[in-house]
Structure 1
Amino acid sequence: MKVIYEDNHLLVVNKPTKLATMGATGQPTLHGLACDYLRRVYNKPNRVYLGVVSRLDSMTSGVIVFARTSKAASRLTPQFANHSGDGAKKTYLAIVEGQVQSQEGILVDEMYKDEASHRMRVAPHPRPDSKTAKLEYRQLRSQQNATVLEVKPLTGRKHQIRLQWSEQGHPILGDRKYSANANWPSGIALHSWKLSIVHPTLKERMNFEAEPPSCWDRFWR
């Protein structure tokens, strides 16, 4: 876990892959590592407060923010529910299988949770338990049989980027859950690249960025 930024209200880190944000019973979590970091650096042997205001899938790497005070948490949480105006703005990097034809575009799908198979699915038509998922993208480069994309989710659905690109016939490299054929060295080829939020007390927009892991080198650098 690499610390990108910290002050009295925020802790922004670069999350490695294969690490749950929180809630993984009997296994290390990003939240646990971040709490250990605060105890060690600030010499606080007892419990420390660290609010989870958004999450990343365990197989995804990249920038994520924690709230160091309850006031910060109460002001940050609504930002992640609002994807316009003063809301949080996320930009991901994704490497998908095959050659994406369009240089840029928008994907819109109806998504619902398949409880039996523990995954999200796309519905051909709206249904009572489905929600609209929307993202915009542009190509950054293509290499061999893969395309590197910049992806900006315009809604905040679970596994949205993973499922929507799988439905396009371009699953994310390494994402076996959503039909990938190609392997990936660690986790999947999805990285939370940039995060923009309004600081909970300063009221100024702040921008954070995390470079992808070294296994991206041949596609990215």
Structure 2
Amino acid sequence: MKEFTIGKNDAGQRLDRWLAKTLPLLPAPLAQKYIRLKRVKVNGKGSKRDVRLQVGDLLQLYINDEFFDAPTPENAFLSVFKPHLDLVYEDENLLLVNKRPGLVVHPDEHERVNTLITHIQAYLYQKKEWSPYWENSFAPALCNRIDRNTGGIVIAAKNAETLRIMNQKIKDRELSKYYLAIIHGRMNPPSGKLEGFILKDESKKQVRVFDHPIPGGKTAATVYKTLKVKGGLSLVECDLLTGRTHQIRAQFAAAGHPLLGDGKYGRERDNKQYGRSFQALYSYRLSFDFTTDGGLLEYLNGRSFQVEHVDFVDEYFGDK
């Protein structure tokens, strides 16, 4: 743990911006997580990221020592890290990146460097479009998340205005996200809507689906359409009307048709015969369907972007 006392030069800053300035090697998403977990204390208490610091405030940082190193070319990973990105689209405001399954989107206690946001930041750093050492620099940030073992399109903002607009559009459901999934069995009817209430169990990192309202539960709705059937498997397209944790995986499992390869919500013996160890789920298409002014991003309205190649579709439904 390290302590800092706020002087006149730092007074008036937001906590998260002071932290980014003081610890430039600490990735922005991890800094936000540490604030949420109360590993950054102001006068002995946890605090919100946007609190304004005052002269004399005592900050206690329960953060790993390596983040306190000075940012030099020798220890700044951005200059030597070789980013690997599958870009679906890029312009001056944002990136659409096809995240591969197995890659985490943000740093955590287990993986600090090899994450999607790190690849993106290194990519933009090496293009000289962004540097954490520029004064008042905005750190590229993700607008949406995808589970480690799910692949698909992730939106990354290059500037604060893009991040603000995208977060609002996602909240207002002015973006449409379509997934491809392979499920066990056949849906009856072949097309329809799965509706219910999802309750998250933080201790198990899992959710449960209920067909009635429950305290703490959130509504969940998924429109699905069966595209192909082959043997004991079905390829379905899903349109998320809500964006709950593990929504597609949990709802199809609750309907009696868990996703192929899903070890958390499916059955191991069913997955074993197909040789797949993680869920066959891919966020393959994204549409910008603004119903209100898109501001800086209005030029994206009406456009749709798609990942053309999804490996499990070819593997289980290709012509062989």
Superposed pair shares fold, TM > 0.5: yes
Larger CA deviation: 158-167 vs 174-183: 174-183
Q: More strand by proportion, 1 or 2?
A: 1
What SS is found at the alignment partner of 2:189?
coil
Aligned residue runs from structure 1 range 111-190, under 5 A: 111-180=198-267, 181-183=270-272, 185=276, 187-190=278-281
Aligned to 1:23: 107
Is contact 1:17-1:58 (8 Å) kept?
yes
Contact kept in structure 2, 1:17 and 1:61, CA below 8 Å: yes
Cα RMSD (Å): 2.0
Counterpart secondary structure, 1:201: helix
Match of 1:99 in 2: 186
Evaluate the alpha carbon distance shift between residue 174 and residue 217 of structure 1 in structure 2; reply closer, same or farther with a 3 A threshold: same
Structure-to-structure mapping, 1:34-73, within 5 angstroms: 34-42=120-128, 46=132, 49-73=139-163
SS in 2 for 1:117: coil
Q: Which residue of 1 aligns with 2:97?
A: 13
Deviations 1:16-51 (A, max 9, x none): 001111133342211111111112233756467212
User: Among 147, 161, 165, which residue is 1:75 paired with?
Assistant: 165
How many Å apart are 1:96 and its aligned residue?
0.4
Q: Structure 1 residues 24 and 116 mapped into 2: Cα distance closer, same or farther (>3 Å)? A: closer
Describe the shift of the 1:96–1:124 C-alpha distance in structure 2 as closer, same or farther (beyond 3 A): same
Residue-by-residue CA offset, 1:166-189 (whole Å, 9 max, x unaligned): 001111111111124314546320
SS of the residue 1:219 aligns to: helix
Match of 1:201 in 2: 296
Letter of the aligned partner of 1:38 in structure 2? L
Asked if 2 retains the 8 angstrom alpha-carbon contact of 1:3 and 1:11, the reply is yes
Q: Which residue of 1 aligns with 2:12?
A: none
Whether the 8 Å contact between 1:18 and 1:186 is mirrored in structure 2 is no
In structure 2, the partner of 1:216 is: 313
CA shift, 1:215, in A, is 3.8
In 2, the alpha carbon distance for the partners of 1:45 and 1:10 equals 16
Q: Answer whether contact 1:60 1:189 (CA < 8 A) is retained.
A: yes
Change (3 A) 1:133 1:125: same
When residues 150 and 25 of structure 1 are mapped into structure 2, their CA distance, relative to the original with a 3 A threshold, is: same
Moved more, 42-51 or 16-25: 42-51
Query: Shift of the alpha carbon at 1:7?
Result: 1.0
1:71 maps to a residue whose letter is: E
Identity of aligned residues (%): 31
Q: Does 1:32 align with 2:118?
A: yes
What stretches of structure 2 of length at least 5 have no aligned partner? 1-84
Mean alpha-carbon deviation: is it higher for 71-80 or for 33-42? Answer: 33-42
Q: Which amino acid aligns with 2:283?
A: S
**1 CA distance for matches of 2:115 and 2:161?**
23
Give the TM-score taking structure 1 as reference length. Answer: 0.90
Deviations 1:103-129 (A, max 9, x none): 210110111112332211012421120
Distance 1:159 1:212, change over 3 A: farther
Q: TM-score, normalised by structure 2?
A: 0.64
Distance 1:44 1:51, change over 3 A: closer
Q: How many residues align?
A: 218
Conserved? CA contact 2:262–2:277, under 8 Å: no
d(CA) in 2 for partners of 1:17 and 1:107? 25
Post-superposition shift, 1:74? 0.3
Please give the secondary structure, in 1, of the residue aligned with 2:212: coil
Tell me: higher relative CO, structure 1 or 2? Use CA pairs within 8 A at least 6 residues apart: 1
Point out where structure 1 has 5 or more consecutive residues left out of the alignment: none
